[in-house]
Structure 1
Amino acid sequence: MPCPDLQESVSIGEVRVGIFLIAAQFPGMRPGQVLRDTVEAVVAAEEAGFDDAWIAEHHFMSYGVCPSAITMAAVALGRTSRVHLGTAVSVLSTQHPVALAEQAAMLHHLSGGRFTLGVGRGGPWVDLEVFGTGLPRFERGFAESLDVLCAALGRDRVSAEGEFFAFREVPMVPSARMTPVVACTSQETTRLAAERGLPMLLGMHINDEEKAAAVASYEAIRRSTLSGGLGEGDGVAHVAAAVGFVGDSTARAVQELREAMPRWLEPGLAGYVPVDGRARPVRDVGKYVEFLTEVHPVGDADHCVAAIERTRQVTGIEHLVLMVEGAGDTARTLENIRRLGAEVLPRLSSRRARDSG
């Protein structure tokens, strides 16, 4: 069912570019310092002219050491005045959707509308055991969780009568009209997002053609869901994640990431521990890094501009968020943010048109 009375969280028709922060812990880094550096990266992104910054949530692993993306967003909102903050994502399978909606509404009001809640289903990880929500919430409870969240973010009062949530009607205090963004990594989640008219967040693990296929599938489901089909102005502003890394030459930038990223990914990905006896998925890290550096804006400024423009052309998505931490060095990450802001963002076509207008 569609989310009631929700407004678009981002505008359609001009490119938006943000940064995507995993709070990645490379060898030798301490988690507390990584978290502080992540906030500094948001501050640097605002100064460099980015539109927004999106923060990931992970638990019990070095892949990402931020266990509460919404808390990190709150701190970063307090350090900035213009840039928008989003969660990419808050894991809905391990949280109560009304509690998450209350936190999102607080940040919406306290920031003057600079916060966007991104949610995802998560995985069959040990988090479900630790937080007590259990495997069923992951396996069959995501749709119900999403509907309760939408109701809590779209109405002044909320109640539930379902398998996982059943409670009397209560007022939402504070209430806010917000549109959550949904991380979509499967056809089932794409269907859920499309039926509710919610924007998708598409990950950096798929290429432009796969993102375009997800958008096409979404639009087909959306047309079949709405009586009379899609009309003028019915577009939804999806978000696409990619690695973003600029260097003096494309060869040097690619080499830098191919040397650095496996040091983070090898131990980091091992942190995904299934809650049951299923085998943990194993990724060939070398091939994955090769894929990331080939398909995303990793290179000199010319290459980065061309890669971003290609993603926009192929996918139709006008909101990109760039993972900027790949070098595993704080100073290099900040340099990367500044260089992307100075050498790449001003050259994107619709930004040039906007600035000249």
Structure 2
Amino acid sequence: MPQRLKFGAFVAPMHKPGINPTLAMRQDLQLMEQMDQLGYDEAWIGEHHSAGTEIIASPEIFIAAAAERTKHIRLGTGVTSIAYHNPLWVADRMVQLDHMTRGRVMLGVGPGSLPTDSAMIGLNPTDTRELLSENLEIIVRLLRGETVNAQTKTHKLIDAKLQLRPYSEQLEIAVAAVASPTGPRLAGTYGLGLLSIGATLNADGFDALAHHWKVASERADHFGQTIDRSKWRLVSMFHLAETEKQAREEVRYGIEFWFRYFQEVAAFPQMAVSGNTIDQMIDFVTEAKVGVIGTAAQARAHIQRLVDQSGGFGSMLMMMHNWASPADTYQSLEIMARDVMPHFQGHAQPTLDAAERARRTREGHAAAQMQAVEHMTKKYEAELRGKK
């Protein structure tokens, strides 16, 4: 297990159709600023083009704006649907962002999650997964500085070569994994990072963790690559408050919409969620162990369970779901940063140990303090007597 577990967010984003999209995007940018100020390590921004809910079409444009508003947080595409794009331009844009952010950018790749996106450009889900594999190979080669000639289902490259090398020594790439073995296979084949989304976001996903890493490890061994658990990211759901009762009350703001989106709108059956009433939906999150609606202590237990089940990973990403109001969402982020993150980053135990040491020796030190006061009082009284 990496000594310091990183924390971040996976931001689709999720917004109710019909609300002001300009305001929604502004609030998404404010979220990046808040997370930067609270000390989060990274945020991954999605690409979607249909269904009216996940409204960012270009994570690259969003990242460029967010990078100018933040100082430390790393920003990734979560994910770029590379089946939709010319792989040469994907690589070229990411190199530009790498320079503009001074190395704070990451490339997350996937086939595209919404069939309503790919259908508009004449691709089916099988096409997008095959193109993911072909295009990722091209992108990896381009970022290595190679000249590429290739013909895919959608694009032809002739002596394609990037005109800039990345700002980073090695621009980080991570492959999304939901249900199929496609993501882990590609991560292992090229020695890339892994974004396990479905592994913790559906009722059966908890058991998929070991499968994801097993597939990635087998492919890495076969191709002579090295994969690193510190580059493995798990996505789960959290809303935290001071009490579980308060947390349950706060998510009534928007949890029903989130569930209905995956139950009735998005043709994305890998996100299998159940519940007819709000209470059933809230119960499902906890009972299926796909997330936490509760306290910091419950969040720590959930994350530790994922650590134990997986054998160790590098980053815990919260799926940003808009279950609660912006104000309550900020409070949840603050509780996570204040009371959960230190326990997995080595910062909690030293202060707990220091407080315990002081507690054990308090009586003796208190007596010494009183003796010192008494000593100086007597010394002062003696000085006064000597002046008379």
TM-score tier, shorter chain, comes to: 0.7 to 0.9
Q: Percent identity?
A: 21
- Separation in 2, partners of 1:237, 1:205: 19
State the Cα deviation string for residues 174-207 of structure 1 (Å, max 9, x = none). 2224231110121133222212222111114244
Matched-pair contact (CA < 8 Å) for 2:194–2:232: yes
- Corresponding residue for residue 57 of structure 1: 47
Aligned partner of 2:175 in structure 1 is 182
Amino acid at match of 2:302: A
In structure 1, C-alpha distance between the alignment counterparts of 2:10 and 2:243, rounded to whole Å: 23
Whether 2:166 is the aligned partner of 1:170: answer: no
Quote the offset at 1:13 in angstroms. 4.4
Cα deviation, residue 152, structure 1? 2.0
Does the C-alpha gap of structure 1 residues 353 and 215 become closer, same or farther in structure 2, counting only changes over 3 Å?
farther
User: Structure 2 residue aligned with 1:30, among 5, 15, 20?
Assistant: 20
Please state whether the residue corresponding to 1:116 is helix, strand or coil: strand
Q: 1:342 and 2:342 equivalent?
A: no
> AA paired with 2:33?
V
Q: Kindly indicate whether the alpha-carbon contact (under 8 Å) linking 2:191 and 2:220 is maintained by their aligned counterparts in 1.
A: yes
CA contact (8 A) 2:175 2:186 kept: no
Matching residue of 1:43:
33
Cα distance change on mapping 1:181 and 1:249 into 2, 3 Å: same
User: Do the aligned partners of residues 112 and 261 (structure 1) sit closer, same or farther apart at CA in structure 2, a change above 3 Å counting?
Assistant: same
> Residues 251 and 299 of structure 1 are in contact (CA less than 8 Å); yes or no, is this contact kept in structure 2?
yes
Other-structure match for 1:90: 80
Going from structure 1 to structure 2, the CA distance change for 1:22 and 1:257 (only over 3 Å counts) comes to same
Paired position in structure 1 for 2:361: none
| Corresponding residue for residue 314 of structure 2 | 318
Equivalences for residues 302-313 of structure 1 within 5 A: 302-313=297-308
Equivalent residue letter for 1:71: I
Output the amino acid matched with 2:300.
Answer: V
The code of the aligned residue for 1:243 comes to M
Q: Residues 144 and 29 of structure 1: is their aligned pair in 2 closer, same or farther, counting only changes over 3 Å?
A: same
Corresponding residue number in structure 2 for 1:7:
none
Aligned length: 338
Give the residue type in structure 2 aligned to 1:313. Answer: D
Which stretches in structure 1 are left out of the alignment for 5+ residues? 1-10
Give the superposition deviation at 1:258: 6.0
Whether the 8 Å CA contact 1:92–1:121 is kept in 2: the answer is yes
Which of these residues, 80, 90, 97, is aligned with residue 100 of structure 1? Answer: 90
**Distance apart, 1:32 and its partner CA:** 1.5
Q: Return the alpha-carbon distance in structure 1 between the equivalents of residues 165 and 123 of structure 2.
A: 25
Supply the AA of the counterpart residue of 1:145. N
**Equivalence for 2:222:** 224
Q: Does the aligned pair in 2 maintain the 1:197–1:236 contact within 8 Å? A: no
Alignment check: 8 A CA contact 2:8 2:318 kept: yes
Work out the CA distance in 1 between the residues paired with 2:101 and 2:222: 37
On the 8 A contact 1:46/1:83 being kept in 2, the answer is yes
Instruction: Indicate if the aligned counterparts of 2:250 and 2:325 stay in contact, CA closer than 8 A.
Output: no
TM-score, length-normalised on structure 1?
0.83
Deviation string 1:51-71 (CA, Å, 9 cap, x unpaired) is 111112221223311111121
Q: Which residue of 2 aligns with 1:150?
A: 140
In structure 2, which of residues 49, 62, 66 is the aligned counterpart of residue 72 of structure 1?
62
Alignment match, 2:385: none
How far 1:36 sits from its partner (Å)? 0.7
- In the TM superposition, residue 132 of structure 1 has moved relative to its aligned partner by 5.5
Larger helix percent? 2
CA distance in 2 between counterparts of 1:317 and 1:19 reads 15
When structure 1 is superposed on structure 2, of 263-272 and 169-178 the one drifting more is 263-272
Residue of 184, 193, 201 corresponding to 2:195: 201
Indicate the residue corresponding to 1:331 in structure 2: 327
- 1:86/1:115 contact within 8 Å kept: yes
TM-superposed deviation, 1:158: 3.5
Q: CA RMSD in A?
A: 3.1
Q: Are 2:4 and 2:344, in contact at CA under 8 Å, matched by a contact in 1?
A: no
Amino acid at match of 2:235: A
Evaluate the alpha carbon distance shift between residue 105 and residue 310 of structure 1 in structure 2; reply closer, same or farther with a 3 A threshold: same
Q: Name 1:5's counterpart in structure 2.
A: none
Structure 2 residue ranges without an equivalent (≥5): 354-388
Return the letter of the residue paired with 1:323. M
More relative contact order in 1 or in 2 (CA 8 Å, sep 6+)? Answer: 1
1:353 deviates by 6.9
Q: 1:213 aligns with which of 197, 211, 214?
A: 211
Give 1:3's aligned residue: none
Matching residue of 1:4? none
**Structure 1 pair 174–352 and aligned structure 2 pair: CA distance change class (3 A):** farther
What does residue 113 of structure 1 align with?
103
Aligned to 1:240: 234
CA shift in 2, pair 1:269/1:178, >3 Å: farther
Shift of 1:281: 9.4
CA-CA distance at 1:255 after TM superposition: 4.9
Deviation per CA, 1:216-273, whole angstroms, max 9, x where unpaired? 23223322332xx96xx86562111111211122243245436631223424664436
Task: For 1:142 and 1:63, locate their aligned partners in 2 and report how far apart those are by CA, in whole Å.
Answer: 24
Distance 1:129 1:195, change over 3 A: same
SS of match in other structure, 1:60: coil
Instruction: Indicate how the Cα distance of structure 1 residues 209 and 132 shifts in structure 2: closer, same or farther if over 3 A, else same.
Output: closer
The two structures have a TM-score, normalised by structure 2, of 0.77
